[in-house]
Amino acid sequence: MNHQKIIQEVFSKVNTLESKGNLASYIPELANLNPDKFGVHISTTSSIKYGLGDYKEKFSIQSIAKVLSLCLAFKTFDGNIWERVDVEPSGTAFNSLVQLESDNGIPRNPFINAGAMVICDILISNLKNPKEDLLAFIKSLSANNDINYSAKIAASEKSVGYRNVALCNFIKSFGNIKNDPNEVLDFYFDLCSLELSCEHLSDLFLFLANNGKTPHNNKQILTKAQSQRVNALMQTCGFYDESGEFAFKVGLAGKSGVGGGIIAILPNEYSIVVWSPKLNEKGNSYKGMKFLENFTTLTEQSLF
Per-residue pLDDT, averaged over 9-35, amounts to: 92
Per-residue pLDDT, averaged over 97-115, amounts to: 93
Residue 93, pLDDT above cutoff 80: no
pLDDT, position 95 = 76
Per-residue pLDDT, averaged over 15-36, amounts to: 90
The pLDDT tens digits for 280-303 are 999 999 999 999 999 999 999 999
Angstrom distance (rounded) from CA 162 to CA 147? 27
Q: Strand pairing partners for 42?
A: 50, 272
pLDDT, position 1 = 79
Mean pLDDT for the chain overall = 95
Per-residue pLDDT, averaged over 260-266, amounts to: 98
pLDDT, position 47 = 94
pLDDT, position 81 = 93
Distances (CA, A) of 264 to 84, 277, 291: 26, 17, 11
* Residue type (1 letter), 270: Y
The pLDDT tens digits for 42-77 are 999 999 999 999 999 999 999 999 999 999 999 988
pLDDT class for 156, splitting at 50, 70, 90? very high
pLDDT class for 145, splitting at 50, 70, 90? confident
pLDDT class for 91, splitting at 50, 70, 90? confident
pLDDT, position 84 = 96
pLDDT class for 80, splitting at 50, 70, 90? confident
Q: Which domains occur in the chain, in start order?
A: 3-297 (3.40.710.10)
**Range ranked top by mean pLDDT from 24-38, 67-81, 86-100, 248-262:** 248-262
pLDDT class for 25, splitting at 50, 70, 90? confident
pLDDT class for 147, splitting at 50, 70, 90? very high
pLDDT, position 90 = 84
pLDDT, position 292 = 98
Angstrom distance (rounded) from CA 232 to CA 260? 22
pLDDT class for 124, splitting at 50, 70, 90? very high
